[in-house]
Amino acid sequence: MKVFLYDGSFEGMLSTFFHILKSRESFCSIEKSGLDRPVLFSESEFIPTDNLNAQYIAKAICSKISVFSFQNIIYSFLSEKNRIEDLLFRYIICGFRIGADTDRHLSNKTVYSVNEISRKVSFECHKLKGLLRFSELRDGSLYAPVEPDYNIVSILSKHFERRLCNEVWMINDVKRGHAVFYRNHNLEYLEVKDIEITKNTYSEQESTYRQLWKAYFESIAIRERTNPKLQRAFMPQRYWKYLTEKN
Amino acid sequence: MDIVEKLKILSQSAKYDASCASSGSERENSGGMGNASCAGICHSWADDGRCISLLKVLFSNQCMYDCAYCVNRKSNDVRRASFTQEELVQLTMNFYKRNYIEGLFLSSAVFVSPDVTMEHMLGVVKRLREVEKFYGYIHLKAIPGADLSIIRQAGMYADRMSVNIELPSESSLKMLAPDKKKDDILKPMVFMGKNWLESTQERQKYRKAPLFIPGGQSTQLIVGATPDNDLQIIKLAEGLYKKFSMKRVYYSAYIHTNSSDDRLPVLAYPPLRRENRLYQADWLLRFYKFSANEILDSSFPYLDEEIDPKSSWALRHMEFFPLEVNRAGYDELLRVPGMGVKSILKILNARRYGKIMPDDLKKFGVVLKRARFFITCNGRKISDLCTDPFIIRAFLMSKAENKPKKLKLPFLYEVGT
Ligand code: SF4
């Protein structure tokens, strides 16, 4: 059977959904192109991204299923999990059948999995809203490197757009080589490689405030209650790399 | 004194304050820096595992009072420091900008007079809001005895305010905090409760009506420094929630800091277990429709340290169980150990679409290890264990049931260390 390929973008995936729903072609999976998975015994077809088609599907999901489900789809997509496209396709088929109540049918395996994945992604978002650290650079702008498990800088940037609306800042997904750049009330999503931050790049005050924050971090802990296990349970070690207080 | 030293001293002194919550207030960013987000965000976890969400400091620790349990009391020989308003404003702004914190939690020792102290604190929040256009979260302690008009002004800038009730009874207060009068504590509490209520009602009518501590007020008391029992404490908490529209009551296990004072008990460890059980009981008051008199009564004035208060209640009321998960109402299910508000809502929802099977319960987040003794599913028991409260109690207490035990290395390896 057929494999559908798309360009890896969210709109690309929705365009592919649109194509499949319209043509009613049967298929065995939907995959990002360029993954180089051995495609044995099956033909493949590349579906180009079409923003109108993608929008059509997005609207249909919001009105026929729910806005909540649409958000689930975005979050699950950002998990970059293997075969997530197939799961999401099954999910919208379910959703179109059941309607607005879809996400209450947790005994349905597909619905359950999507909700689980989406929950994990939004959990990481929530964690990183707190654990992300900005450093002030010479020109007064703020820079935050992160290495999230899921591809969530776009969502994080929405949070900081509201919060730091008069600043200039960049959140850099170091692992994936993406960054969101915010300036003049405008968000830009860019591919960035090799951003080099050296001591000289930081503002003069930067080291003072880091030192102050570390001092605060140490003095706020109650020694009689030291509990490294609990600390790591809330603040997994994989996030420590960019934490001012842990370096 | 340099600012790092000041920060060390003034955060050391503030850290025993348990309340960290930055939730419950929604403040939109209108063209400045920051917003308060309703869900509350933790920014780090200290070495003791507590969440750090706010810059929690004292304005000053130069206290004129002499409360027995406090490190900063006048008679103690500790290093003293005070911030200037500007220092504190810059610190807050710069920490916030770097996403270290969600906002400021400002308290203070009483210097010169309660009014002067409160004026300085008001100065800080006023500057943050009006000059720096800071929209992040601000929690402010009201100083007992300060003029209500200053407190009122401060409340217009803060998201939440609190007066510590400190100790569970008036007699304890007289003994350990002789400078603080019960009235000085209650007056601002009543005042803030009233103003909060009015402003909330006003805002329902006119959206532009001025805010007054939109996140409400909270308070804190010390557990284990005085002979007050748990029944007294949760009754007090119940009253505070009802009478003063209190948002949260915080319990803080007494930590032995002033060793030479014989008004204080000598405890080898802070009573953390007890503190934890009180939080659970408090939770039952606020979300599970329990009353203080159900949780404890004069024949049981202390919370059971070995099992949680809900299980403890259930074991004393076996006649109430078992409940059928496919039929029982919301209020009934609230009483089942191992079931939380969220899982109950999921159960009620799922019931509309079909019968609930035992396998579903786990998916809804029910802790079967505890719940299984108290429910049936389609008329059938989840476990075929008996209904004898003593035996169930033993099951509830055994930790081995809850977690797979970690294996230890053979003792050989431990000898050298
Ligand atoms: S008023 Fe009492 S509790 Fe507060 S700082 Fe002074 S001595 Fe400590």
Q: Is the pTM of this model over 0.90?
A: no
What pLDDT is stored for residue B21 in this prediction? Answer: 53
Sort out which chain B residues have CB atoms less than 8 A from A221's CB and list them.
15, 46-48, 50
Inform me whether the pLDDT recorded for B134 exceeds 90.
yes
User: Which of A98, A123, A148 marks a domain boundary?
Assistant: A123
Q: How far apart are CA B168 and CA B381, in angstroms?
A: 43
- Examine the domain organization and report whether A61 and A171 are in the same domain: no
* Selected residue with higher pLDDT from A116 and A195: A116
Alpha carbon of B277 to ligand 1 centroid (Å): 27
Our count of domains for chain A comes to 2
- Give the confidence band of B415 by pLDDT, cuts at 50, 70, 90: very low
What CATH number does the domain containing B155 carry? 3.20.20.70
C-beta atoms of B100 and A244 within 8 A: yes
User: With left for phi above 0 and alpha for psi between -120 and 50, is residue B47 left, alpha or beta?
Assistant: alpha
The verdict on A102 and A203 lying in the same domain is no
Axis crossing angle, helix A67-78 with helix A10-23, rounded to the nearest 10 = 120
Which of B61, B73, B185 to probe ligand 1 with, by most ligand atoms within 8 A of CB? B73
Structural domain of B342: 309-399
Regarding the beta carbon of B67 and ligand 1, being less than 6 Å apart is answered yes
For B55-59, B133-137, B333-337, B391-395, which range has the lowest pLDDT when averaged over its residues? B391-395
Q: Is residue B105 part of a domain?
A: yes
Q: What percent of chain A has pLDDT over 90?
A: 66
Q: What is the pLDDT confidence band of residue B137, given thresholds at 50, 70 and 90?
A: very high
Pair B19, B156 in one domain: yes
B152 and B201 part of one domain: yes
Using CA coordinates, name the residue in chain B closest to A140: B97
Do B214 and B320 reside in the same domain of the chain?
A: no
Q: Is B58 in the pocket of ligand 1 (CB under 6 A)?
A: no
Beta bridge partners of A44: A3
Question: Is residue A144 within 8 Å of B99, Cβ to Cβ?
Answer: yes
Q: Is residue B172 domain-resident? A: yes
Q: Are residues B235 and B332 in the same domain?
A: no
Contact at 8 Å (CB) between B326 and B349?
Answer: no
User: CA Rg, chain B, in Å?
Assistant: 24
Integer Cα distance of A160 and B156 in angstroms: 26
Is beta strand A169-173 parallel, antiparallel or unpaired with respect to A178-183? antiparallel
Residue B302 lies in a domain: no
Q: How far is the CA of B67 from the centre of ligand 1 (A)?
A: 6
Matching residue, tokens 């969530």? A152
B391 pLDDT higher than 90:
no
User: In total, how many domains does chain B have?
Assistant: 2
Find, among B331, B332, B335, the residue nearest to B310 by Cα.
Answer: B335
Is the C-beta atom of B173 inside 6 A of ligand 1? no
How large is the average pLDDT for residues B189-197? 90
Domain shared by A9 and A104, yes or no: yes
Buried b (16+ CB within 10 A) or exposed e, B218-229: bbbbbbbbbebb
Assigned domain for B406 exists: no
Q: Is the CB of B375 under 6 A from ligand 1?
A: no
Question: Which residues partner with B223 through β-bridges?
Answer: B253
User: Closest ligand 1 atom to the C-alpha of B108?
Assistant: 5
Q: CB of B152 within 8 Å of any CB in chain A?
A: no
Helix H or strand E encompassing A183: strand A178-183
Distance from CA of B401 to the nearest CA of A (A): 21
Which residues have C-beta within 8 Å of that of residue A153, sequence separation ≥ 6? A146, A171, A172, A173, A178, A179, A180
Classify residue A24 as exposed, middle or buried by CB count within 10 Å of its CB (0-12, 13-18, 19+): exposed
Which residue from A minimizes the CA distance to B43? A130
Distance B157 CA to ligand 1 centre (A): 24
Residues of the domain holding A185: 132-246
Beta bridge partners of A191: A178
Show which of residues 27-56 on chain B sit within 8 Å of chain A, judged by CB atoms: 29, 31-35, 39, 41-53, 55-56
This model of the complex carries an ipTM of 0.89
Q: Give the model confidence (pLDDT) of A132-161 as tens digits.
A: 999 999 989 999 999 999 999 999 999 999
* Residue A128 sits at the chain B interface (C-beta within 8 Å): no
Shared domain check, A188 and A119: no
Residues A155 and A89 in one domain: no
B265-302 confidence digits (pLDDT tens): 877 777 888 888 999 999 999 999 999 999 998 888 99
Q: Answer whether residue B361 is part of any domain.
A: yes
Does the pLDDT at position A78 exceed 80?
A: yes
Q: Are A115 and A137 members of one domain? A: no
Q: Does B318 touch chain A (CB under 8 A)?
A: no
Instruction: Express as a percent the part of chain B with pLDDT over 70.
Output: 89
CA of B25: how far to CAs of A97, A103, A175, B403, in Å? 39, 28, 35, 37
Q: Which residues of B touch A144 (CB under 8 A)?
A: 99
Across the range B385-411, mean pLDDT stands at 58
Answer yes or no: do A151 and A216 share one domain: yes
- Binned at pLDDT 50, 70 and 90, residue B405 comes out as very low
Atom index in ligand 1 nearest the CA of residue B61 equals: 5
The model's confidence at residue B385, banded by pLDDT at 50, 70 and 90, is: low
Residues 6+ apart with CB under 8 A from B361: B325, B343, B347, B368, B371, B377, B382
B397 vs B185: which has the higher pLDDT: B185
Residues B226 and B177 sit within 8 Å (Cβ to Cβ): no
Phi, psi of B247 (to 5 degrees): -85, -45
Note the pLDDT of residue A19: 94
Q: How far apart are CA B70 and CA B193, in angstroms?
A: 27
* End position of a domain, from candidates B267, B295, B323: B295
- Residue that is written with structure tokens 């947790």 in the block: A106
Whether residue A66 is predicted with pLDDT greater than 90 in this model: the reply is yes
**What is the strand order of the sheet A169-173 is part of?**
A135-136, A142-146, A169-173, A178-183, A186-191
A131 and B7: CB-CB below 8 Å?
A: no
Question: Among B16, B49, B350, whose Cβ lies nearest the Cβ of A107?
Answer: B350
Query: Could you give the CA distance from residue B261 to residue B76 in angstroms, rounded to a whole number?
Result: 11
How far apart, in Å, are the Cα atoms of A234 and each of A131, A148, A213, B103?
Answer: 11, 15, 19, 20
User: Is the Cβ–Cβ distance between B38 and B85 less than 8 Å?
Assistant: no
Which domain-ending residue is among B251, B272, B295?
B295
Report pLDDT for B299: 85
Same domain for A158 and A227, yes or no, is: yes
Answer whether A165 sits within 8 Å of B29, measured CB to CB.
Answer: yes
- Would you call A167 and B53 a contact, using CB atoms and an 8 Å cutoff? no
Q: How many CA atoms lie within 13 A of A61 on its CB side?
A: 26
Last residue of some domain: A123, A154, A182?
Answer: A123
Answer for the pair B84, A199: CB distance below 8 angstroms, yes or no.
no
Looking at the structure, tell me whether residues A10 and A118 fall in a common domain.
yes
In terms of domains, do A142 and A107 share one?
no
B109 ligand 1 Cβ < 6 A: yes
Are A6 and A119 in the same domain?
yes
Please tell me whether residues B221 and B337 are part of one structural domain. no
Minimal Cβ distance to B349: which of A104, A112, A135: A104
Contacts of A112 in chain B (CB under 8 A): 363
Residues A140 and A119 in one domain: no
Same domain for B319 and B288, yes or no, is no
Helix axis angle for A153-163 and A67-78, nearest 10°, is: 120
**Per-residue CA distances from A53 to A16, A75, A158 (Å):** 9, 20, 25
Which residues does chain B have within 8 Å of residue A226's beta carbon, measured at their own beta carbons?
A: 47-48
Could you say which residues from 54 to 93 on chain B have a Cβ atom under 8 Å away from some Cβ of chain A?
A: 55-56, 91
pLDDT digits (tens, 9 = 90+) for B226-260: 888 999 999 999 999 988 888 889 888 887 777 77
Ligand 1 atom closest to Cα of B109?
5
Are B234 and B170 within one domain? Answer: yes
Span B199-208, mean pLDDT? 86
A215 at interface of B, judged by CB pairs closer than 8 A:
yes
Residue whose Cα lies nearest atom 5 of ligand 1: it is B109
**Nearest residue on chain A to B360, alpha-carbon basis:** A107
Nearest CA in chain A to B91: A209
Q: Is B244 in the pocket of ligand 1 (CB under 6 A)?
A: no
Q: What is the pLDDT of residue A38?
A: 62
Mutate to test the interface with B, among A213, A226, A239, A246 (most CBs of B within 10 A): A213
- Which of B295, B322, B340 is the last residue in one of the domains? B295
Residues B358 and B287 in one domain: no
Q: For residues A183-197, give the mean pLDDT.
A: 83
Same-domain pairing of B220 and B345 = no
Q: Is the peptide bond before B322 cis (omega within 30 degrees of 0)?
A: yes
β-pairing, B44-45 vs B51-52, is antiparallel
- Compute the mean pLDDT over every residue in chain A, rounded to the nearest whole number: 90
DSSP B190-214: HHHHHHHHHHHHHHHH-TTSPPS-T
